[in-house]
A and B are shown apart, each in its own frame.
Chain A
Amino acid sequence: MRESEKDPGLYDFRPYRDRTKIEWPEGKTVAVWVSPNLEYYEIDPPANPQRKSWPRPHPDIVPYGHRDYANRIGHWRMAEVMEKHGFKGSVSLSVALCQHHPEVVAHANALDWEFFSHGIYNTRYSYGMDEAQERAIIEDSIKTVRDATGQTIKGWLAPALTHTPRTLDLIAEYGMTYTCDLYHDDQPGPVHVKDGRLISMPYSIEVNDHYGFFVYNMSPREYADTLIRQYERLAAEGEQSGTVMCIPLHSYLIGQPHRIGPFEEVLRHIAADGRAWITRSGDIADHFLANDYYDATAADAARYAKDAG
């Protein structure tokens, strides 16, 4: 990004009309990916100068225990429902989970879920890191996931969504192909980096279960209805050019007994509809790059460049 400038220069303007037609496999109109955040939050993390981990003195056992619910109960309940309806996870992983709860990581890997990095812990923030420190957490992420699962991570969602101005350049340099940290579009598109090709993978803050339940205060049934409306709209619009719908989840929220039943109805609806390419984030990125959509979408954007006449 262009540090300290008003416009960080992350991507080019490309309005939502007259776009290159993105075609998903088998004529599907919307690529649907489910993103369980498999996380570890430390009970007594060191302080980051720019962000506090827990509101109360450590141990702040309610928010800590709430998140630990994921690894004891929620993950297993959520994963069973996803598997039942044919949804593989694309995991936003606190890579230290490979050490703390290897059984959770092994279970997800055995289900053929994809892993990308969500930092070391969700209580260690990137704010204030120098380049060497940021390289260290990227290299740690790549090695830890490879050792635990055999997978090479292709993407990044910053730990607790904390960035530095150099994050995107670095992940591209290390060979990753997508970032989940930019929320400007319902389709993938190029991101400006120093070297290599990085695309923005549509994740979602707005239909993230955390936002649904604790920003918009939805009931479980309202959240399920919201996801179905989101799906119906994106599936219809995808006839013009393929769209992406991400369902970002935290099993300590969606895996609660009062929420999982309504959520299962969402998966049942999408699986039965027929218009969804039910897939993983890395598969979307691979398809996008293999079919030259990077250049095609960049050419779309070039039509609107200020010097294009």
Chain B
Amino acid sequence: MSLDPSYLEYPKRREGMDHGLYVPSPIPTRKPFAWPDRKTVAVTLLVNLEWFPITPEDAPFRAPGHMVTPYPDYRHYTAREYGTRVGFYRLLDAFAKAGVHATIAVNAAIAERYPSIISDILAEGHEIIAHSTDMNGTIATGLPEAEERALIVQARDTLAGAMGTMPRGWQSIARSQSWNTPRLLVEEGFDYMCDWVNDDLPYLATTEAGTIVSMPFNHELSDRQMIALQQHSMEDVTRQIEDAFDWLGIEADRFGGRVLPFTITPYITGLPHRMDAFEQLLGKLAGSSKSWFATAGEVVDSWQGQTG
């Protein structure tokens, strides 16, 4: 038995990345930067506001959180809807109580079905970014480019119609991209994408059509990862976020501004038994002299203003 000789050939074994999507950037080599008002840790909350059709699709893949049982899966269809009609409003109230703003990644189907949610989000000062069409709108290599572009355009234009302005940011379902996604996002006018988990800070990704900012929304710092996958309690989650905040605050004093992302799912965190701990976390972070609760767009604007 032996492997094909090409298995021991390494055509991309060279300095730098094995692709052209961005260049290496070890953090000690980066120029320090500062957030507004002498704040040192930008806390970026991102909520995934999603609509799951009761008819799930598996191409390119079935979205996390999607239907599980044979049709009709009332259990998961309604539990996800619970997140939208109840959990999300608990989150909005918690943000208002703490006086903080968040970034809401919204499926276009939400704007079509429940337009009042869009007005509620905007009235309370949060940012909306595009998050595909609905939870059947997953992306991966193999999805034809024209279909992917149509999905991105439909998501953008549906939200723009409801918002009155174009969304500036994008997050793919499950953060899953194809080889084409960053270029299509540039071509369709997006300023930043929230899919890559390889950094703590914004950086510039490159495509054949120009550059796009990659905003850090680490999947590890999320209720989906910690609660749905790792089965931690909400108290364990808030402890981890506080530990991260403390560590980043110390680093920021030495090296310049840091970002603490936390991705929240309405049907996970927005349950009655989790909300007290979540509100206590928001209160603690908002009470710190170091924290700047910022939307993705605010972080990108501040960062770009300093990187020239």
Contact = CB atoms under 8 A, between A and B. Distances in A.
Interface of A: 40, 42-44, 46, 48-49, 56-62, 64-66, 68-69, 71-73, 75-77, 96, 99-104, 120-121, 124, 128-130, 132-133, 136-137, 213-214, 217, 219-221, 256-262
Interface string B1-43: 1111011101011111111010011111100000000000000
A261 B200 contact: no
B198 A44 contact: no
Contacts of A258: 220-221, 240-241, 243-244, 247
B18 A133 contact: no
Interface string B148-178: 0000000000000000000000000011111
Nearest to A47: B7
Contacts of A214: 230
B197 interface: yes
Nearest to A55: B61
Contacts of B60: 56-57
B140 interface: yes
Nearest to B3: A128
B134 interface: no
A58 B19 CA distance: 12
Given A100-B18, A258-B241, A260-B247, A42 B12 contact: yes
Given A58-B141, A72-B198, A120-B10, A217 B2 contact: no
Given A57-B142, A62-B175, A76 B3 contact: no
Contact of B240 (A44, A66, A219): A219
B199 A69 contact: yes
A130 B197 contact: no
Contacts of A42: 12, 18
Given A61-B175, A221-B239, A128 B2 contact: yes
B260 interface: yes
Interface residues of B, number: 59
Residue from A62, A76, A136, A261 having most chain B Cβ neighbours under 10 A: A62
Given A62-B175, A219-B239, A48 B3 contact: yes
Contacts of B239: 219, 221
A129 B165 CA distance: 57
B13 A100 contact: yes
Interface of B is mostly: loop
Given A62-B197, A128-B3, A130-B1, A261 B243 contact: yes
Interface in B215-272: 218-221, 229-232, 236, 239-241, 243-244, 246-248, 251, 260
Contacts of A129: 2-3, 7
B232 A59 contact: no
Contact of A219 (B28, B29, B178, B236): B236
B8 A137 contact: yes
Given A72-B27, A261-B247, A217 B231 contact: yes
B260 A72 contact: no
A57 B200 CA distance: 25
B176 A100 contact: no
28 contacts: A46-B6, A48-B7, A56-B140, A57-B60, A57-B142, A58-B141, A59-B178, A59-B179, A61-B177, A62-B175, A66-B197, A68-B198, A69-B199, A69-B218, A71-B24, A96-B13, A99-B14, A100-B15, A100-B16, A103-B26, A103-B29, A120-B13, A128-B2, A129-B2, A219-B230, A220-B240, A257-B200, A260-B247
B220 A256 contact: yes
Contacts of B196: 61, 65
A50 to B, nearest CB: 10
A64 B179 CA distance: 13
B50 interface: no
Interface string B296-308: 0000000000000
Given A72-B27, A219-B236, A256 B198 contact: no
Given A62-B176, A99-B14, A130 B2 contact: yes
Contacts of A217: 229-232
